[in-house]
Amino acid sequence: MKDYASVDDYLADLEDWRPQAEELRGILLGCGLDEAIKWGKPCYVFEGSNIAIIQPFKDFLALMFFKGALIEDHHGLLEEQGENTRSALRVRFTDAEQVVEREAILKEYVENAIEVEKAGLSVPKPDLVLVEELRNRLDEDPELKAAFEALTPGRQRGYNLYFSDAKQAKTRAARVARCVPKILAGKGLQDR
């Protein structure tokens, strides 16, 4: 991931989706949001809270709303990013005309997202149901259990999803065993 000093630098380097991203940028800034580069992409913020981020993909450009699940979607444009997504929803674009045509709707979504932040709303987090092999290992090892519980909820969930994705118990147990050193070090699955 390239480290950009500004959104201008990012857009100058963006090849495939620059016109769409520039249109989105204008709309988001017009809604009173501040912009910054976060996670290597243009992120739009209201009073320190992340509202939306522009995400280029191979076949489309997306505007992802961090708390999209709490936005009223009367137009049916918001979609999940994947089966494990709980709160973030996105709008897809394949050409700049779509951005222009949807400007009023996008402004409505941004205004709604700002109201969600002002109200202090958050998406309820379901209780994490640990995969059996992890639960057994944590019960056997108090040090590992303490280290796992000290991880952020997102890191705990990431590990659990990775472990539960294996079809066989033997594979799940092997994955747990391989991750023990990272968990003890306080790192998430994707951390180096």
pLDDT digits (tens, 9 = 90+) for 101-159: 999 999 999 999 999 999 999 988 778 899 999 999 999 999 999 999 999 888 999 99
DSSP-assigned letters across all residues of 87-145:
S-EEEEESSHHHHHHTHHHHHHHHHHHHHHHHTT--PPPPPP---HHHHHHHHH-HHHH
Per-residue pLDDT band for 1 (boundaries 50, 70, 90) equals low
| E-state strands within 13-113 | 34-38, 41-46, 49-56, 61-65, 79-80, 89-93
pLDDT digits (tens, 9 = 90+) for 8-50: 999 999 999 999 999 999 999 999 999 999 999 999 999 999 9
Number of domains in the chain: 2
Q: What's the CATH code of the domain at 77?
A: 3.90.1150.200
Q: Are residues 41 and 90 in the same domain?
A: yes
Burial of residue 170 (number of CB atoms within 10 Å: 0-12, 13-18, 19+): exposed
pLDDT digits (tens, 9 = 90+) for 66-108: 999 999 999 999 999 877 677 899 999 998 899 999 999 999 9
Burial of residue 91 (number of CB atoms within 10 Å: 0-12, 13-18, 19+): buried
Q: Are residues 109 and 83 in the same domain?
A: yes
- The range of the structural domain enclosing residue 82 comes to 7-118
